[in-house]
Structure 1
Amino acid sequence: MKDPEPVAPFTRDNTWRVDTVGTEVRQLFQYEEAEQLAKGYPAKVHILPRPLESTGAVIYRGGLFFQPRHSRSVARYDLRGETITAEREIPGAGYHGQYPYSWGGYTDIDLAVDETGLWVIYSTEKARGAIVLSKLDPETLEIRRTWETNIRKRGVANSFLICGTLYTVSSYSAPNATINFAYDTATGSSRALSIPFENRFRYLSMLDYNPAERQLFAWDSFNMVTYPVRLSRA
Structure 2
Amino acid sequence: MYHLGHCGLGRMVSVSGPRTYSLNVYGTSYTFGAWGRDANPAPGDENKYWLVVLSSSNVYGHFIRQYNTLSTLILGIGPTDTYISSSNPTTNTIQGPNMVMYGNTLYYNCYNTYSVCQFNMTTRAVSTVALPNDAGYNNKFPFAHLGTTYIYTDMDFATDESGVYVIYASTSNFGNVVISKVETSDPPVLSQTWSTSLHKKTVTNTFMVCGVLYATRYLDKEIEEIFYTYDTKTNEERYDLRIHIKKMQPNIKYMNYNPRDHLLYVYSDAYIVTYVFQEVQ
TM-score w.r.t. the length of structure 2 is 0.79
Where does residue 37 of structure 2 map in the other structure? 2
Deviations 1:64-111 (A, max 9, x none): 111111111011111111221x21101121101000101422100111
1:93 is aligned with what amino acid?
A
Where does residue 115 of structure 2 map in the other structure? 73
Alignment of 1:10-159 (within 5 A): 11-22=45-56, 24-49=60-85, 50-84=92-126, 86-91=127-132, 92-102=134-144, 103-139=149-185, 140-159=187-206
Distance 1:38 1:179 in 2: 27
Distance 1:79 1:179 in 2: 32
Distance 1:172 1:116 in 2: 31
Distance 1:57 1:206 in 2: 9
Q: CA deviation at 1:41?
A: 3.0
Sort the Cα spacing of 1:89 and 1:220 in 2 relative to 1 into closer, same or farther, 3 A: same
Distance 2:200 2:163 in 1: 22
Deviations 1:121-140 (A, max 9, x none): 00011011100000110113
Q: Does 1:190 align with 2:237?
A: yes
Distance 1:160 1:199 in 2: 17
Deviations 1:176-208 (A, max 9, x none): 231000111111121121111222211110000
RMSD (Å), alpha carbons? 1.5
Distance 2:177 2:41 in 1: 29
1:120 is aligned with what amino acid?
V
State the SS of the aligned residue for 2:72: helix
Q: CA deviation at 1:43?
A: 2.8
Distance 2:203 2:227 in 1: 9
Aligned 8 A contact 2:129 2:190 in 1: no
Unaligned runs of 5+ in 1: none
1:212 is aligned with what amino acid?
R
Q: CA deviation at 1:144?
A: 1.2
Aligned 8 A contact 1:131 1:150 in 2: yes
Distance 2:124 2:202 in 1: 37
Q: 4+ residue runs of structure 1 moved beyond 6 angstroms?
A: none
* Structure with a larger share of its residues in strand: 2
1:78 is aligned with what amino acid?
N
Unaligned runs of 5+ in 2: 1-35, 86-91
* Paired residues, number: 231
Q: CA deviation at 1:221?
A: 1.3
Sort the Cα spacing of 1:28 and 1:120 in 2 relative to 1 into closer, same or farther, 3 A: same
Distance 2:244 2:105 in 1: 33
- Name the structure, 1 or 2, with higher relative contact order (CA <8 Å, separation 6+): 2
State the SS of the aligned residue for 1:37: helix
Distance 2:66 2:164 in 1: 21
Identity %: 26
Q: CA deviation at 1:172?
A: 7.6
Aligned 8 A contact 1:172 1:203 in 2: no
